[in-house]
Amino acid sequence: MFYIIGPRGSGKTTIGKQLAEYKGYQFVDTDKLILERAGKSIAEIVEQHGWDYFRQLESDVLQSIKQDNVIVSTGGGIILAEENQRVMRDNGTVVYLNANPNVLVQRLAAEPQADQRPSLTGKSLLAEIEEVMQQREPIYRATAHHVIDATQPVEVIVQQLKDLI
């Protein structure tokens, strides 16, 4: 199993899909699984039940993925639960797609998905990403077996990951 972690806009889904296609593996996006199981968008889940409830759904989905030969793209905050960090590290290879906040803001502004993820802080996108990354960066690094520079072209990143598998 191969887990891809990182913040919103780091390319987890794009890279994961291409890598899965190349390897002939199944691709699983934990956010999509949550949407399918809950029958609601993440924004609706958080609005109706709160972040703690969403984080529990995220953990349940992560632990439900049991098959081998799968590439798992995770939600940006999945690493906040120590249990999730352990599950990923113990069951596969964890890759952190790292990018600076300015790059992430440019990508998110280019492809806005407002219904996908509500604001965590209510601040501007750049201020929010900077704050979230300050908190999560050490956790991403501690969880990952490999750190990849996500500002490189997609083809370069996919080739680096092909070499890891």
Percent residues over pLDDT 90 in the chain:
72
Q: Is residue 165 part of a domain?
A: no
Residue 143 labeled ligand binder: no
Residue 117 labeled ligand binder: yes
Residue 107 has pLDDT above 50, yes or no: yes
> Which one, of 134, 154, 112, lies nearest residue 12 by Cα?
154
- 81-91 residue pLDDT tens: 999 999 999 99
Instruction: Give the structural domain span for 142.
Output: 2-160
**Cα distance between residue 25 and residue 20, in whole Å:** 5
Residue 24 labeled ligand binder: no
Straight-line distance from the first to the last Cα atom of the chain, in angstroms, rounded to the nearest whole number: 10
Residue 76 labeled ligand binder: yes
**Cα distance between residue 74 and residue 60, in whole Å:** 12
Question: What mean pLDDT is reported for the chain?
Answer: 90
Residue 3 has pLDDT above 60, yes or no: yes
Residue 152 labeled ligand binder: yes
- 31-75 residue pLDDT tens: 999 999 999 988 899 999 999 999 999 999 999 998 889 999 999
Residue 141 labeled ligand binder: no
Mean pLDDT calculated for residue range 133-155? 95
Q: Is residue 133 part of a domain?
A: yes
Label residue 4 exposed, middle or buried (CB < 10 Å: 0-12, 13-18, 19+): buried
Q: Is residue 63 part of a domain?
A: yes
The reported pLDDT for the residue numbered 161 is: 93
Lowest mean pLDDT among 55-59, 118-122, 134-138: 118-122
Q: For every residue of 21-88, which 3-state class applies, written as one string?
A: HHHCCEEEEHHHHHHHHHCCCHHHHHHHHCHHHHHHHHHHHHHHCCCCCEEEECCCCHHHCHHHHHHH
Taking CA atoms, 58 is separated from 6, 70, 88, 156, 165, in Å, by 15, 17, 13, 29, 25
Structural domain total, the chain = 1
CATH number of the domain where residue 142 is located: 3.40.50.300
pLDDT bucket at 126, cuts 50 / 70 / 90: confident
Residue 124 labeled ligand binder: no
pLDDT bucket at 115, cuts 50 / 70 / 90: very low
Mean pLDDT calculated for residue range 93-120? 78
Q: Is residue 77 part of a domain?
A: yes
The reported pLDDT for the residue numbered 112 is: 60
Residue 136 labeled ligand binder: yes
Residue 121 labeled ligand binder: no
pLDDT bucket at 109, cuts 50 / 70 / 90: confident
Largest CA distance in the chain: 43
